[in-house]
Structure formats: C-alpha cells, structure tokens
C-alpha cells in the first residue's frame, strides 16, 4: 500500500471516529437534557418557592378520576424515568415541599396496609391488595426521605420501626419531608420520594431498580413519565 493511500485511510478513520464522538455526545445530551432542565427548575424552586407557587401540587389533591390522591404539598421536580447518569433511571417522583425539614406533611396516597422494616429510618411502604387498574394484582406504594441527615425520623409515632401490616386510609398522616440520604455529610434536598413498587409472590421487589416499579402517571392523572415528558411541569389538567 503506497503512502498516499495510507494517509487517505488514516484521515477516513479519524473522520469516522470524530463523527462517532459527535453522535455520541448528541445522544448523551438528548438522554440527559430533560433531567438537567428539571434540575434547573428544582434549584429555582428551592431558592424561592413563593416565586413559583404555581408549580405546586397540594396534598390530597386528585386529578380527575385518577385513583391516587397527591401525597404531599410541593413541586414535582423529578419524574419516573429521569436519569442523572447513564446506568440509572429514577424509579419514582420527587416532591419538593419548599420548606425546612420536618414541616411538610406526607400522607397516604391510597388506602392499604403499612409496614416499616426495623432498620428503616425514613421510609414506609403500603401494600395495596388490589391495583386500581389491575384488581387481580397487588402493588406497593413507597415513601422515603422522612428523616434528618443523622437519621432522626420524621415518621409519626403511630408507625415505629417494625410496624407490620397496619391498615391506613388514604390521606392518613405518615410523617414529614426530610433530607436523609444515609450519609450525614451529603443530605439530599428536602423532599419526598414516592414510587409504586411491583409485587412478587406477596412481597415487594427492590425499589432501586426501575424495572421493579410502575409509571405513576395514570395513578395520579399527571404527566409523570420522564421518557415522554421532557419539559412540562406536572399539574392537574385545567379542564
């Protein structure tokens, strides 16, 4: 192979690699852009909640004929399916109350049987024997971050660690929004993380894997799917 042909092939390979890098960067941006935009709005809201009061949902609010009532006051900052790194998808929704820890109430979105594992500082889970959309199936609703950075719980005294299968009505007070992350040096922002977890043989699956959770959109009548909602603030339809 002569020298000019080698140079030509080298230029072609470099050009192809450059194009692949550009396409990869565009793909990554497309993948992350909605979450980045939502992060911008979360910061705006946290800095001045009153300036963005029209972004808020109210605890107990129900959109149309949706079966679930909203569990806490606040702005829905992150959606089911949002991504903050390429190997992980957000498994639920994050509701930012816009107040200090331990002040924004968290209430049951739907009636069911509440449990709190002995080592759970900030979380409860409610078993719903009959999914309102698939009555033959069982689902679970999971609520977390109800503690301060050191793990001091904001869950109400009615549900101490080790609580098992206590029936609660929709709207029952469960606790208050906190910022517990498991690492006192790196607390989260004050919010409630809520997710709908699938059942397997009478037990809830691992909530950390999005494949074990359900899109909460139809249950609340809100656009809560980060795959399809790229920039809309979730609020009840005005019709």
pLDDT in tens, 140-199: 999 999 999 999 999 999 999 999 999 999 999 999 999 999 999 999 899 999 999 999
Tell me the CATH number at 20: 2.70.70.10
pLDDT at res. 2:
59
- Is residue 158 situated within a structural domain? yes
- Is residue 75 situated within a structural domain? yes
Does residue 22 or residue 108 have the better pLDDT? Answer: 108
pLDDT at res. 32:
52
Q: What is the mean pLDDT of residues 201-219?
A: 97
Q: Which residue range is the domain that position 115 belongs to?
A: 6-220
- Is residue 27 situated within a structural domain? yes
- Is residue 34 situated within a structural domain? yes
pLDDT at res. 83:
84
- Is residue 239 situated within a structural domain? no
Q: What is the mean pLDDT of residues 3-31?
A: 49
Q: Which of 13-27, 100-114, 169-183, 202-216 has the lowest mean pLDDT?
A: 13-27
pLDDT at res. 28:
39
Name which of 185, 156, 183, 178 is nearest 99 in CA terms. Answer: 178
pLDDT band (50, 70, 90) for residue 3: low
Q: Which of 76-85, 105-114, 123-132, 176-185 has the lowest mean pLDDT?
A: 76-85
pLDDT at 131 over 70: yes
- Is residue 33 situated within a structural domain? yes
pLDDT band (50, 70, 90) for residue 84: confident
- Calculate the average pLDDT of the chain: 89
Q: What is the mean pLDDT of residues 210-227?
A: 97
pLDDT at res. 58:
97
- Is residue 234 situated within a structural domain? no
Distance CA 146, CA 208 (A): 17
Counting the structural domains of the chain, the total is 1
- Is residue 209 situated within a structural domain? yes
pLDDT at res. 166:
98
| Predicted TM-score of the model (pTM) | 0.86
């Amino acid at each position: 192979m002569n020298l000019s042909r080698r140079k030509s092939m080298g230029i072609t390979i470099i050009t192809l690699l450059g194009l692949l890098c550009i396409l990869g960067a565009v793909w990554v941006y497309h993948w992350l852009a909605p979450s980045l935009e939502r992060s911008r709005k979360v910061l705006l809201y946290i800095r001045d909640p009153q300036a963005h009061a029209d972004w808020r949902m109210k605890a107990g609010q129900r959109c149309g004929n949706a079966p679930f009532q909203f569990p806490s006051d606040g702005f829905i900052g992150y959606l089911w399916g949002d991504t903050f790194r390429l190997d992980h998808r957000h498994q639920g929704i994050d509701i930012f109350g816009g107040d200090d820890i331990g002040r924004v109430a968290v209430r049951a979105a739907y009636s069911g049987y509440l449990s709190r594992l002995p080592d759970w500082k900030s979380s409860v889970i409610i078993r719903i024997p009959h999914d309102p959309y698939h009555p033959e199936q069982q689902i679970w609703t999971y609520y977390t971050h109800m503690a301060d950075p050191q793990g001091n719980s904001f869950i109400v005294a009615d549900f101490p660690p080790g609580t098992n299968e206590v029936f609660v009505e929709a709207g029952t007070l469960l606790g208050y929004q906190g910022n517990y992350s498991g690492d006192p040096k790196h607390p989260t922002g004050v919010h409630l993380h809520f997710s709908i977890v699938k059942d397997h043989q009478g037990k809830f699956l691992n909530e950390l894997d999005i494949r074990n959770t359900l899109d909460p959109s139809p249950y609340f009548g809100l656009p809560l799917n980060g795959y399809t909602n790229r920039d809309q603030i979730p609020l009840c339809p005005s019709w």
